[in-house]
Amino acid sequence: MEPFKPFPQCVDCLMDLTQQAATQVAGEDPQFRDEAKAVAREILIDAERRGMTAPEAANRILSEIRRRSGVSDPYTEFKAKEMAQARRVFSQLERYVGDDLRSRMSLAVLGNSLDFFTDPDEALSHIPEQIQKGLSFFHDDVARLESFLSQDPGLVLYLSDNAGEIYFDQPLYEYIRERAARTVLVVKGGPSLNDVTRADLEVSSLERRFSEVADTGTDGVGIDWEHVSKEFLDLVDQAHLIVAKGMANFESMYSRDLPSPVFFLLKAKCQPMQNYLEAPPESYWALWYDSHLKGKQQ
């Protein structure tokens, strides 16, 4: 499958992101919003010329908004609301989560319904009903992951996504941790839309729930390969498997040469991604991706 090409189909979404982020930092200030939109248009023209991914373009736009506004984390309040609502919903669902991999993976992918374009209450409202009736993956490689985990793997990286989603990731993370020699939760190295950071984990007292936490070393959406830290790259090089949540991680990792397989867990939320995957709207994906392995053995 060819890499996902974001232009021109993702331009409207990226401009909506620009307006939303500008509103987060400057309210209804028309001058700042117009300035942000003008800068975003220039960035998107350059991004299309350079063949950038949508996360790469979003990173440049958000960086400019932060620089011009002086606000380091435009989504602080949004994330706090998202995490509070996610914690409440998760507390209602724990009793429905079994000990099996499929049950825990279903809960984790339902958490991927959270999105910076959607109010957290609305995004989470359907989850209790779905987890009780069961969830079907449009692409289902759950058995392949289960087989891999039965072979006593070494290092597994768990790449997180949205802040509230981290509650729904806990049972799956624990399942993997019980079977791998080492399991590392990876968060963003700085504010990145509504993605979870170390600071978010600390404020919510969640860091102690994960045996080891690392970060990407950068504030980029998805994996900003140009700016990630050496420490993160070393973890990627050592990993026997990477579990990656969400579309931005998918966009920035799929079709990239990596030293280990990647297990993508995501909800296909937008029309361009649904078209690319040839998937129904709002479908769930548990996708094992064998990158061009570089001789690494389990």
Position 294 confidence tier, pLDDT thresholds 50, 70, 90: very low
- Asked if residue 235 lies in contact with residue 259, where contact means CB atoms within 8 angstroms, the answer is no
pLDDT of residue 141: 98
Region 182-190: what's the mean pLDDT? 97
More confident residue, 1 or 101: 101
Read off the pLDDT of residues 100-150 as tens digits, 9 standing for 90 and up: 999 999 999 988 887 766 777 776 777 777 777 778 999 999 999 999 999
Whether 212 has a pLDDT exceeding 80, the answer reads: yes
pLDDT, position 119: 74
Mean predicted confidence (pLDDT) in 150-174 = 95
As a whole number, the mean pLDDT across the chain is 90
| Percent of all residues in the chain with a pLDDT value above 70, rounded to a whole number | 96
CA distance 247 to 250: 5
Residue 296: per-residue pLDDT = 42
Assess whether pLDDT exceeds 90 at residue 203. no
Q: What is the pLDDT of residue 78?
A: 87
Instruction: Tell me what pLDDT residue 133 has.
Output: 77
Predicted pLDDT of residue 292: 52
Which pLDDT belongs to residue 167?
93
**pLDDT tens string 5-47:** 888 989 999 999 999 999 998 887 899 999 999 999 999 999 9
pLDDT for residue 283: 94
All structural domains of the chain with their residue ranges: 11-69, 76-289
CATH for 76-289?
Answer: 3.40.50.10880
Is the Cβ–Cβ distance between 289 and 254 less than 8 Å? Answer: yes
Rounded mean pLDDT, 221-236: 95
For residue 123, what pLDDT is reported?
67
Percent of the chain at pLDDT > 90 equals 65
Tens digits of residue pLDDT in 65-95 = 999 999 998 888 889 988 998 888 888 887 8
Once rounded to an integer, what is the mean pLDDT over residues 288-296? Answer: 64
Report the pLDDT value the prediction gives residue 295, as an integer from 0 to 100. Answer: 41
* Mean pLDDT along residues 279-286: 93
61: pLDDT strictly greater than 90? yes
Q: What is the mean pLDDT of residues 176-204?
A: 94
